[in-house]
Amino acid sequence: MTNHLLNLKIATTSHEQSQALERFYNETAQLVFGFCRKKGLNPQDSEDIVQIVYSQIYNKRDKYNPDYSQLAWLFIITKSEAKDYRKKSAIYGDYLKDYGMFLNVSQPFTSNPISSEESRDLDLSALNDKEKLALEQRYFAEKDFHEISESLGLTQANVRKIISRAIKKLKG
C-alpha cells in the first residue's frame, strides 16, 4: 500500500493534499466504517465518524510519523473519535431531549402538560435561526450532516460547528 499519509504530509499544494487524502480515504474508509459498525454504532453515526476521522487526519497530517504504519495511525484516530462521539452523543442526548420537551410545550396540549420537574430552563433566545433549524434537522428529523448542509447551503464542517455551538449555548 502506498503511503498516502506521507504524500499528504509532504504535499505542497492543496491539489496534491486533496489527491493524497482522497486516495487514502478510498483505500481505508471501509475499514473505519466497519470498525464503527462492529462497535455497535448505527450506519449514520458510523458515517459521521468516518467524516470526522478523515477531517482529523487532514488537520493532523503534520504530526504523522512515516516510521510507523499509516493503518496504525488511522486505527488510533478512529478509536479515539468513536469513543469521543459516543460520549458526546450521550451528553448531547440529554440536552436535546430537554430541548424537545421544550418545543412540545409550545404545541397545544392533548394530555397533561410537562411538569416543572421534567423540563429545564433552556434559553432558546440565545440560539439564532440557523442553530435552531440545524438542531431540529439533526436530532428531530434525524438528517445526517450532508443533508443538513445541502438544505442550509453550508459546508458539512460548518454545520457541525453550528450544531456544536448551539448545544454549548443550551448547556449554558
**Alpha carbon distances (Å) from 140 to 43, 69, 104, 159:** 17, 40, 12, 15
Per-residue pLDDT, 64: 87
Selection from 83, 84, 96 nearest residue 39 by Cα: 83
Domain layout of the chain by residue ranges: 4-79, 86-106+115-171
Per-residue pLDDT, 101: 61
Per-residue pLDDT, 35: 92
Q: How far apart are CA 73 and CA 94, in angstroms?
A: 32
86-106+115-171: CATH topology is Arc Repressor Mutant, subunit A (1.10.10)
Per-residue pLDDT, 110: 39
Per-residue pLDDT, 122: 54
- The CATH code belonging to domain 4-79 is 1.10.1740
CB 42 within 8 A of CB 9: no
pTM listed for this prediction: 0.54
Those residues of the chain that have pLDDT short of 50 are: 106-120
Helix or strand run (H / E) with residue 42: none
**Alpha carbon distances (Å) from 47 to 18, 31, 98, 108, 162:** 20, 12, 26, 37, 19
For the beta carbon of residue 130, count every other beta carbon within 10 angstroms. Answer: 16
